Amino acid sequence: MPLRRLKDYLDSNKIKYVTITHSSAFTAQEIAALAHIPGKYLAKTVLIKIDGKMAMAVLPASDKVDFDLLKGAIGNENIRLAYEHEFMDKFPDCEVGAMPPFGNLYGMDVYVAKSLTEDEKIAFNACSHSELMQMMYKDFERLANPKILDFSFQSML
């Protein structure tokens, strides 16, 4: 069961969380609708490459990454979206595209959009396309130790 590693990690750190099961969905907005969570409260994990090194950009499901803002905030022009074939083997305990925003579990830096820090709770994919996990944002921040930057904009879906 892919979720086991994540649950063990949260349990060992005494984190309170809720698991939400929903029918299979593959886009963040679709997942938010199925789970009855506004898109701005659901975090999506976007894999990026910075100087060839994999990292996570975590932002509200309703937003998109502004790569110009991200490059400026990090101070590096060599940033791009990672291709699926570059990361599909990096998350052996997760379905492709359903990785949780805990880069520290996978040896990756985590960059969180400032807009995501404004809410009390965070919900995110829990290693599958049919399960979410919800927890207090402050607990997520303490465990994942992300760099908080302004790099996203609201998508007009």
Per-residue model confidence as pLDDT tens digits over 53-66: 999 999 998 899 99
Cα distances (Å, whole numbers) of residue 98 to 7, 43, 65, 127, 149 = 15, 11, 18, 5, 23
| pLDDT confidence bin for 29, thresholds 50/70/90 | confident
Collapsed DSSP state (helix, strand, coil) of residue 155? coil
Given a cut of 70, whether residue 136 has pLDDT beyond it is yes
Instruction: Quote the pLDDT of residue 1.
Output: 41
Using the predicted structure, report yes or no on whether residue 19 has a pLDDT greater than 50: yes
pLDDT at 33 over 90: no
What is the model's pTM?
0.91
pLDDT in tens, 100-113: 999 999 999 999 99
At the second CATH level, the architecture of 3-152 is Alpha-Beta Complex (3.90)
The pair of three-digit structure tokens given for residue 108, joined into one six-digit string: 């990756």
Locate the domains of the chain by residue range: 3-152
